[in-house]
Structure 1
Amino acid sequence: MKYLSAASAVLALGLAAQGQAQEAEVQLDEQLAVDACIAPEDQQRDMSEFSREQRDAILACSFKEAERQLAPQLPLQLDDVTQIVAVSADGLVFSYRYAIDIETADVGAEAASFLSEATRENVCNDPDMLATMQEGGSFAYAWYDNSDKLIHRMTVSTC
């Protein structure tokens, strides 16, 4: 696999992880991320030709580039009650912050379990996100109610 493909995988943002992006349309320029993070002469090299340190640096850079491109497009309505309101990149972790139009008091105890199971299943079934995790990346998720109270938080780094 060429690193160009791996850099594209990094941009597999969490819309697929939610599995419910009905109206969401995100514009990401994968080539811009590749160009920002990998020297032109290195873009066709196989991933195995990069050191672990180099791969980590490229992954972290790609996450930052994805954040830079996606943030201006937010908030992004995913369904009737759910929005992605923020994204952030911190090293090898790409984070998503969701707002759900409900009160935490209205959320049953099973909600956290449902969010965890559904998110993990969607992440683990997404080939691009799997490839990113295999390179050491992680995806963090946090859901907040309409009073900005935390409903649930989780990180997926392996499947």
Structure 2
Amino acid sequence: MNSVQMHLMLTHVPIILSITGLVMFIVALLIKNTTLTKTSYIIIVIAGVASLPVFFTGEGTEEAIERMPGVSEAIIEKHEEIAKLAMASIVAAGILALAALLSFQKTMVARVLKVVVLLLAIASSSLMAQTAHLGGQIRHTEIRNAAGGRDAQGLGKQQQDQDDD
């Protein structure tokens, strides 16, 4: 299995887990359920770990597809930029979620960790969704051009054709 196959196979895991962990965490906080809180922490930790192989197989995937017809280098670069932020934020959320799990008591540290994990989970879920959207645009021109014939960079079809030459 090569890096492209690994990237495509694993790419949805951190996205789904980060969003699932966030939703579960919010529900856990609202209903004040410690078991659900701990479970959401575990999911966020797994999302952070799962993001690493996805991110590190991205470069090989880029090299394999960057010269294919219809592939926009500008979208690949934007996808890569957002992916770096998404990976960093979910890894940070995962590390702090692990710390919160290990210090799961009613202390000031646990409360602060809870708030910080929540904020990082919101940020990372948003960044993961944006990363996924941009990643889809790399090969799926039907979503790239969905907004009035403009791609993520605001380029129209004519400009894209010029860029591809």
**TM-score normalised by structure 1 residue count:** 0.29
Higher strand share goes to which structure?
1
**TM-score normalised by structure 2 residue count:** 0.28
Larger Rg: 2
